[in-house]
Amino acid sequence: MKFLTSIASLSMAAALAIASPIAKASDNLYALRVSSKDAQLDGKYLSVFDNVVGIFPGRQTLFVTASESSKKGCVELHLHPTGIIDHALGLVGEGVKELHDIANPASSPGADWTSFAMNSAGDPGEPNLGSLSYTAKGGRWVVFPAKAGGEWKVTWLDGSSITTQNYMPIDLVYEGAMTISQ
């Protein structure tokens, strides 16, 4: 009889665990997309190819989680899902800073991965929508052609470097990824 009671209890616990709603996904899970006056770029979601962040048709959409940075008023953007090694978005370079997927960012000198700001769109009905900026003085997001076939690299151009004029100015928009509610 004790055996049946134990099995019944175990079965009940398993059934409740299976029937329970899945834990709510993080409220700060975002997809990043481009806003541009150019129709071929506008609305395209960012992805990663060879550690470079950009528009790469056919690649999986990039998802990030935002966490408070050690820099006041800034956030860090960590790639989702998180694996054994932490990955974060970071800017690499001088003057022309490419947006990269940085593995183990805490031990990556030269990459700035702690200076992003998420600026709310201001619509109370859409708290998970807004623009993403880099908090360094001056500059803007642009994309440079990466390869033929509509591939573009996302870059922060601060105006201090001489560069080719084949870039397109863009804005980066974050939007809340679908969450599972309880």
Please check whether residue 5 lies inside any domain of the structure.
no
In angstroms, the CA 107 to CA 118 distance is 24
pLDDT of residue 124: 61
Phi and psi at 8, nearest 5°, equal -65, -45
Q: What is the CATH number of the domain that holds 146?
A: 2.80.10.50
Residue 32 lies in domain: 25-176
Percent above pLDDT 90 for the chain: 62
Residue of higher predicted confidence among 170 and 123: 170
pLDDT at 3 over 50: no
In angstroms, the CA 181 to CA 89 distance is 27
Rg, Å, the chain Cα set? 21
pLDDT of residue 125: 58
In angstroms, the CA 137 to CA 123 distance is 27
Please check whether residue 34 lies inside any domain of the structure.
yes
Domain count, the chain: 1
In what helix (H) or strand (E) does residue 149 lie, and over which residues does it extend?
Answer: none
pLDDT of residue 179: 43
3 state SS of 164? coil
Residue 128 banded pLDDT, cuts 50, 70, 90? confident
pLDDT at 144 over 50: yes
